[in-house]
Every structure is written in C-alpha cells, then in structure tokens.
C-alpha cells in the first residue's frame, strides 16, 4: 500500500434500536474516544440511508499513510474501545480501508 492518505471506514449496526439512547451514547463516545488518538483526521459519524445496505451507521477517518493507521490500530485507547464497547455493543460490521488515488 502506498503512503498516501488512508481512509478507514467501518459500517455497522448496533444491538440497540437506531433511536435508542444507548445508540446515541455509543456514537458520541466513539467519536470522543477515537478522535483522542493522535493521527486520526477527518473523523465522521455517518448514518446509512440506502435501503440496499444492511448497516445503520458508519465511522470514517483518515490517516497520513499506513504507518499512522497501524499506530492507531495498535493504540491502547483503540484496543480498549474495541474490547469494552465494540465487541459488546456492535451486532455486525464491515470494515473498508482504502488509499486515495491522486
């Protein structure tokens, strides 16, 4: 993979109803926690609107290349979020990692 801007996207559905307070808390906490990690850029919380997709939400973020992304993935804050929140509250997900073409 080249050293360009890497976009990490994950689309997911939670174990809660879309309009549940727990859903709002998860999305807010996810943004707050994950953006605290150095190297995370352009973080977005997305709501799926297409009937062609089985997922309800998305997180999208950018990194300055593979090394920054690897640092994020291995960061203790990310690892703790995955263990404590993601693995217990997410029903299903799809992860997509792409590099922007110039």
The Cα angle at residue 24 between residues 17 and 96, in degrees rounded to 5: 85
Residues 18-56: pLDDT tens digits?
A: 999 999 999 999 999 999 999 999 999 999 999 899 999
At 80, give phi and psi (nearest 5°).
Answer: -70, -40
Residues 65-79: pLDDT tens digits?
A: 999 999 999 999 999
Rg over alpha carbons for the chain, rounded to the nearest Å, is 14
| The pLDDT of residue 101 is above 80 | no
Confidence class for position 1, pLDDT limits 50, 70, 90: very low
| The pLDDT of residue 2 is above 70 | no
Is pTM, for the whole model, over 0.85?
A: yes
* Short-list 67, 51, 87, 61, CA closest to 9: 61
6-99: CATH number: 3.30.70.100
Determine the pLDDT at residue 93. 97
| The pLDDT of residue 12 is above 50 | yes
Q: What is the average per-residue pLDDT within 7-27?
A: 97
């Amino acid at each position: 993979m080249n050293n360009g801007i890497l976009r990490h996207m994950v689309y997911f559905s939670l174990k809660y109803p879309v309009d549940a307070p727990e859903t709002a808390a998860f999305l807010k906490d996810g943004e707050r926690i994950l953006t605290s990690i150095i190297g995370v850029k352009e973080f977005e919380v997305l709501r799926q609107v297409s009937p062609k997709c089985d997922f309800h939400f998305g997180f999208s973020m950018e990194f300055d290349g593979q090394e920054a992304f690897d640092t994020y993935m291995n960061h203790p804050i990310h690892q703790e979020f995955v263990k404590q929140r993601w693995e217990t509250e997410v029903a299903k997900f799809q992860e997509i990692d792409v590099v922007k073409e110039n």
